[in-house]
Amino acid sequence: MIRLLSQVLNAGELQAVRELLPQVGFGDGRITNQSSQVKRNLQASQEDPVNARIAQLARDALARHPDLRIHAMPRTMARATVVRYEPGMTYGWHVDEALFPSTPPMRSDLSCTIFLNDPTEYDGGELMIQLGAQELAYKLNAGDAILYPSTTIHQVAPVTRGVRIAAITWLHSWIADASQRELLSQLDEARAIAVRGAAPGDPRLQVLLESLKTNLFRMWADT
Ligand SMILES: O=C(O)CCC(=O)C(=O)O
Ligand SMILES: [Fe+2]
């Protein structure tokens, strides 16, 4: 499932990132995808010390975001990388690698983009995700993030004006199976609504419970 995580970075962290960004050392993005025919962007090298500081800010911010825990059930999070798209740059349709090349390698279940600059600063540069025949486009406010399954075909549309800057990372979930993960996150959301003291007939709680009951029945029904 695609999930938007709002205000992952708070105002202070965004300001710290803005001050660090001019010092990031960027290189050709193909360094990590040498055979890619569609990747035309800039990215920080993993050894870059300024990237490491931004990555740490991003990791801490994601780790404390309640929606990340509910929807990703993260086991491991890869070190984030700052990416930069100038006019004409793009990352065409592709699927992310199955294994993130850490030691040991990490299976990527979910991909995550944290938008680091304001959408008014550039044209184009939408993160587009294919859902069957549909193409969904996302361009979020600075500090917001999107979480999407690493199995999806996606692209960054060409930037036509200005500069798009984001931090990207990947997550290994405790729950490998996406439909099982969805059941658990619906259950967790329902629990959170109930704990807050839902009003009788709360529509969100009702539809969550109906979905859980129906989909568990579909899974377990002996036909
Ligand atoms: O910059 C983004 O939003 C995602 C880029 C991407 O798809 C990737 O680096 O694999
Ligand atoms: Fe990607």
pLDDT by position in tens, the chain (length 223):
999 999 999 999 999 999 999 999 999 999 888 888 999 999 999 899 999 999 999 999 999 999 999 999 999 999 999 999 999 999 999 999 999 999 999 999 999 999 999 999 999 999 999 999 999 999 999 999 999 999 999 999 999 999 999 999 999 999 999 999 999 999 999 999 999 998 989 999 999 999 999 999 999 999 8
Nearest CA to ligand 1 atom 2: 113
Place of tokens 């944290």: 114
The domain locations on the chain are 3-173, 178-220
Q: How many angstroms does the Cα of residue 201 sit away from the middle of ligand 1? A: 41
Strands 81-85 and 42-44: antiparallel
Do residues 193 and 208 make contact, with C-beta atoms less than 8 angstroms apart? yes
H or E stretch at 137:
strand 134-138
Neighbours of ion ligand 2 (CB under 5 A): 96
Entry pTM: 0.95
Q: For every residue of 140-184, which 3-state class applies, written as one string?
A: CCCCCEEEEECCCCEEECCEEEECEEEEEEEEEECCCCHHHHHHH
CATH number of 3-173: 2.60.120.620
Specify the ligand 1 atom closest to the Cα of 166.
1
Buried b (16+ CB within 10 A) or exposed e, 37-76: eebbbbbbeeebeebeebbebbbebbeebebbebbbbbeb
ipTM over 0.90: yes
The Cα–Cα gap between 185 and 193 comes to 12
